[in-house]
Structure 1
Amino acid sequence: MAFKIGVYGSNIVESERALGLARELGQALAAHGCIVITGACSGMPYAVAKTAFEHGAEVWGFTPALNLDEHRRAYPQDDIGIYRRLIYVPPSYHDLFGLTPATAEQDWGARLKYRNVISTVNSDAGIIISGGWGTLNEFTNLIYEGKPIGILIGSGGLADELPVWYPRLRKKTASPVLFEGNPTRLLSLILQRLE
């Protein structure tokens, strides 16, 4: 059985160093036969997913878009051909949660959060590479689900802040949170926890 590993991080490329780490992580995920899950956005998770796809991995994208046209407009530079599955937010999601967003921007923001929850629930474990506010939301979702979480330190953003911040967290969780700067070793540690 292939493990589904969610990759969460910045929607921009943080640095050339971070991009190199992303590519190494993508190769490792493919080498271990993992299914790669992302939020189907640009940036660091896309770099990981694209590399994993190029090395034979199956990639699933959980987009905040309602349909393919909207996804293409939101992320015009990304190749959607890397996704074996592209999962959209259902058009009736407002009804599921009793939402009535006042603006298109609020609607998109709500769909980003919906996407974050659905993608983390569908992952067996998660890896944080760089990241900002949205990644923090995905990290806390994984914590609540009790899933193994790998933090790729040295990739910038949230990933480099969590080693200081996480020990202060008082939330009890079943999630092992693993800190490692080498993408291949980090994935091996996560897979050991899953096996």
Structure 2
Amino acid sequence: MTKNTYQICVSGAAGGKTVETGHTIAFDAGVAIAKAGHQIMTGATVGLPDRAAQGAKSVGGISVGISPAATKLAHTKKYRLPTESYDVILFTGLHYIGRDVLLISSSDAVIFIGGRLGTLHEFTIAMEQHKPCGVLLGAGGTTEEFDDVMRAAGMRDFAAHRVVFDTDPVRLVRSVEEMLRKP
């Protein structure tokens, strides 16, 4: 990686309605990350994260998956997860909860799209680790409630907690880059 290249995680719904509503913006987020020269990281799962990885790959980007499975065989057979959109997959054997911690810990920043409980879990990990977070609005799901979650937790100053919200993937990636440049 070059000096200005970051590993940006995309977290989002693997299933449910937000996969349909967020299909295009997830792809566009992956494109924006790759065009900005960054690597995309996901939980090597289906749905919006895979769609973002597809977007990154469509413009020659590098995608890294962090799998909950211990082996490629378990990844594809037991968990029924994809491999096509990834240059590299790390098979962790940590199941979903452990995978989430490793994924967020290994990322420089996280972009959230749509989502269900797993996305909320990854958001709380990112907040506890003080990671820059970009929330891409418009897909529905738990991400549409992250501002309320933050307020309920007493985190009323989003900028101080390094969280930005936007509806445009390109603008959101730029905002995340700005946060990454600041210590």
TM-score range, shorter chain: 0.7 to 0.9
1:78-100 residue CA offsets vs partner (Å, 9 max, x unmatched): 3x13222211114xx6xxxxxxx
Q: Unmatched 5+ residue regions in structure 1?
A: 94-110
Q: Percent identity?
A: 29
Q: Of the candidates 131, 140, 162, which is equivalent to residue 147 of structure 1?
A: 131
1:44-68 residue CA offsets vs partner (Å, 9 max, x unmatched): 0110011111211111100001100
SS of match in other structure, 1:170: coil
SS of match in other structure, 1:115: helix
Query: What amino acid is aligned across from residue 120 of structure 1 in structure 2?
Result: I
Q: Of the candidates 5, 9, 16, which is equivalent to residue 12 of structure 2?
A: 9
2:103: which partner in 1? 119
Q: 1:15 to 1:145 in 2, by over 3 A?
A: closer
Number of aligned pairs?
174
Q: 1:177 to 1:85 in 2, by over 3 A?
A: same
Q: Of the candidates 60, 84, 87, which is equivalent to residue 87 of structure 2?
A: 84
Structure with the greater alpha carbon radius of gyration: 1
> Is residue 126–residue 142 contact of structure 1 (8 Å, CA) maintained in 2?
yes
Does 2:114 correspond to 1:130?
yes
Measured in 1, the distance between the counterparts of 2:144 and 2:101 equals 23
Does 2:45 correspond to 1:59?
no
SS of match in other structure, 1:81: coil
> Is residue 151–residue 179 contact of structure 1 (8 Å, CA) maintained in 2?
yes
1:9-57 residue CA offsets vs partner (Å, 9 max, x unmatched): 1002625441111121111111111110000000001100111112111
1:184: which partner in 2? 170
Measured in 2, the distance between the counterparts of 1:175 and 1:58 equals 28
TM-score normalised to structure 2 length: 0.88
Query: What amino acid is aligned across from residue 65 of structure 1 in structure 2?
Result: A
Greater shift in the superposed pair: 146-155 or 9-18: 9-18
Q: Unmatched 5+ residue regions in structure 2?
A: none
Measured in 1, the distance between the counterparts of 2:76 and 2:128 equals 31
Measured in 2, the distance between the counterparts of 1:135 and 1:81 equals 22
Measured in 1, the distance between the counterparts of 2:50 and 2:126 equals 19
Q: Of the candidates 132, 143, 147, which is equivalent to residue 163 of structure 1?
A: 147
TM-score normalised to structure 1 length: 0.83
